[in-house]
Amino acid sequence: MDSILICGETPLYGRLRVQGSKNAALPILAATVLVPGISVLHNCPKIEDVRLMCKLLETVGCQVKWENHTVTVDASGVVCGTLPSEYVEKMRSSVIFMGAMLGRVGEVSLKYPGGCVIGKRPIDLHLKAMEQFGVQTRQTEEGIVANAGKMKGAHIIFPISSVGATENTILAAVYAEGTTVLEQAAREPEIQALCAFLRRAGAEIAGDGSGRIRIDGQRTLHGCEYTIPPDRIVTGTYLLGCMAAGGEICLENAPAEELSAVFHVLKRMGAELFICSGEVHCRRTHALKSAGNIMTEVYPGYPTDLQSPMLAVMALAEKNSSMTETIFENRFRIVEELNRMGAGIHIQGKTAFVPGARRLHGARVTAQELRGGAALVIAGLAAEGITAISGRQYIDRGYENIAKDFETLGAKVLYEENSGKDSRQPVTAAAGKENR
Ligand code: UD1
């Protein structure tokens, strides 16, 4: 697999259009299973997880067509079946096929879902919610078998807020008999996008965006067109790239209203931010101030998906900062790699202490999961010398082409074809070729 090579210390300048949201596109693609007709989704990001989701749709009998960033799904011929492990194990979001398949064909079997290695990530909340609809679930060594029979609407109180479990439950509730009410439902913008799509297809849903969602089931769904909203995590990643490298960038089609917790921290660190008709302008010309103590939280708090990229920026600040991870265990795996670049981060329990005032230096580093990989790219933008990042396939799960995007903004990006190089070898300019 190719590596990304970044020759750091070049400030970023220019403008870029933000891709469609991964975390909105995935449940909406799963939701097309509920529509006995044609769904047309515009602005779908061309990323690995979306491709896997399309493959899963095909395995249950959907016809899927890509044209530029538009995906057309004809789900008229959905059939029961087992979701193949080759896709399910690669992507955690495949679990939300459960609710959609139970709603449409009444049964499904799937392997235990995989995805990014960021802690245990159980699916107990998904299964308990399905059981409240009257679904019978059986867990075997290989996976889960679920049979719906006649699903009845339910009053479901989630013990904690879960994005995936909320989405799965909404999908199942659309065809359940009667009314379903979800309490302590997730409030992330991606839930609202899913509900907006379902409403356009004929579902009756109210309250999304609050912790209490009401779904009146058994409405007949019909085909529709929907545009996937822009990706708030990609927007945040690119802003953090500008914070690390310095310069001035403009992100078009950026969901500014979904990023207030992030903007708050960026301003504290010295960013100048201007928001104007769907564009976010970010300028960072002075030294970075401390980010203070940040805690990841459910929306609208600081997003866990921007925790690792922020660690890279914190390392460059004049003074120390800290980051407490409250959503996922084991989401500090990237710290070891950032420390190889000189970050000096120290972890105690759920908190990473970042000393700041660091001069990062290039190194050969490895991405092991999506957002940690993005953090390495951001560190590379600011590091002295060349940073070679392997494990690019993890980054491609969520970013259409992060290297090319930063190159558009002026970063010096090189590509290194797989050479089976010893990862301890120093990186030299001769190792890569320019991506032009
Ligand atoms: C989604 C996002 C991911 C983001 C996360 C939190 C997608 C495709 N992924 O992941 O990018 O980081 O929300 O904003 O949208 N939990 C349980 N039991 C369950 C389900 C979850 O204990 O059955 C726990 C998890 O381990 C975690 C917490 O709930 O500690 C939140 O997870 P959840 O919101 O479900 O995350 P995902 O939907 O997997």
What is the per-residue pLDDT across 165-223, written as a single tens digit (0 to 9) for each?
Answer: 999 999 999 999 999 999 999 999 999 999 999 999 999 999 999 999 999 998 889 99
Residue 350 tokens, joined: 């759920």
Q: What is the pLDDT of residue 418?
A: 60
pLDDT tier at 47, thresholds 50, 70, 90: very high
Is the CB of 124 within 6 Å of ligand 1?
A: yes
Report whether pLDDT(53) > 50.
yes
pLDDT tier at 435, thresholds 50, 70, 90: very low
Is the CB of 163 within 6 Å of ligand 1?
A: yes
Q: What is the pLDDT of residue 117?
A: 55
Mean pLDDT, rounded, for 332-353: 97
User: How far is ligand 1, taken at its centre, from the CA of residue 323, in Å?
Assistant: 19
Mean pLDDT, rounded, for 9-23: 97
- The per-residue pLDDT for range 247-297, each reduced to its tens digit, is 999 999 999 999 999 999 999 999 999 999 889 999 999 999 999 999 999
Report whether pLDDT(434) > 60.
no
Instruction: Name the least confident of 52-61, 85-94, 421-430.
Output: 421-430
For residues 433 and 324, the model is more confident at 324
Residue type, 59: T
Report whether pLDDT(71) > 60.
yes
Q: Is the separation of the CB atoms in 8 and 245 below 8 Å?
A: yes
Mean pLDDT, rounded, for 407-431: 65
Residue 232 tokens, joined: 């708030």
| pTM, to two decimals | 0.94
Q: Is the separation of the CB atoms in 384 and 8 below 8 Å?
A: yes
Report the nearest atom of ligand 1 relative to the CA of 22: 8
Q: What percent of the chain has pLDDT over 90?
A: 81
User: How far is ligand 1, taken at its centre, from the CA of residue 94, in Å?
Assistant: 13
Is the CB of 308 within 6 Å of ligand 1?
A: no
Report whether pLDDT(417) > 80.
no
User: How far is ligand 1, taken at its centre, from the CA of residue 8, in Å?
Assistant: 33
User: How far is ligand 1, taken at its centre, from the CA of residue 18, in Å?
Assistant: 23
Q: Whose CA is nearest to atom 33 of ligand 1?
A: 162
Mean pLDDT, rounded, for 399-411: 96
Mean pLDDT, rounded, for 115-122: 59
Three-state secondary-structure class, residue 246: coil
Instruction: Name the least confident of 18-32, 138-152, 406-420.
Output: 406-420
Residue 326 tokens, joined: 């409250």
pLDDT tier at 430, thresholds 50, 70, 90: very low
DSSP 134-145: T-EEEE-SSEEE
Pick the CATH number of 22-227 from 3.40.50.720, 1.20.1250.20, 3.65.10.10, 3.40.50.2300: 3.65.10.10
Write out the catalytic residue numbers: 116
Report whether pLDDT(433) > 60.
no
| Residue whose CB lies within 8 A of the most ligand 1 atoms, among 98, 137, 163, for a mutation test | 163
Is the CB of 329 within 6 Å of ligand 1?
A: no
Instruction: Write out the CATH class of domain 3-19+230-416.
Output: alpha beta
Instruction: Name the least confident of 29-33, 119-123, 268-272.
Output: 119-123
- The per-residue pLDDT for range 345-397, each reduced to its tens digit, is 999 999 999 998 888 999 999 999 999 999 999 999 999 999 999 999 999 99
Using CA atoms, how far apart are residues 226 and 197, in angstroms rounded to an integer? 6
For residues 29 and 145, the model is more confident at 29
pLDDT tier at 83, thresholds 50, 70, 90: confident
The domain limits of the chain are 3-19+230-416, 22-227
Edge-to-edge, what's the strand order for the sheet holding 70-74?
63-67, 70-74, 38-42, 224-227
The angle at the Cα of 194, spanning 192 to 195, to the nearest 5 degrees, equals: 65
Is the CB of 231 within 6 Å of ligand 1?
A: no
Q: Indicate the average pLDDT of the chain.
A: 92
- What burial class does residue 183 get, using C-beta atoms within 10 Å of its C-beta: 0-12 exposed, 13-18 middle, 19+ buried? exposed
Q: What percent of the chain has pLDDT over 70?
A: 93
Q: Give the pairing type, strands 224-227 and 38-42.
A: parallel
pLDDT tier at 112, thresholds 50, 70, 90: confident
Q: Whose CA is nearest to atom 23 of ligand 1?
A: 123
Report the nearest atom of ligand 1 relative to the CA of 120: 26
Report whether pLDDT(1) > 70.
no
For residues 149 and 57, the model is more confident at 57
pLDDT tier at 87, thresholds 50, 70, 90: confident
Is the CB of 304 within 6 Å of ligand 1?
A: yes
Q: For residue 111, list its beta bridge partners.
A: 143
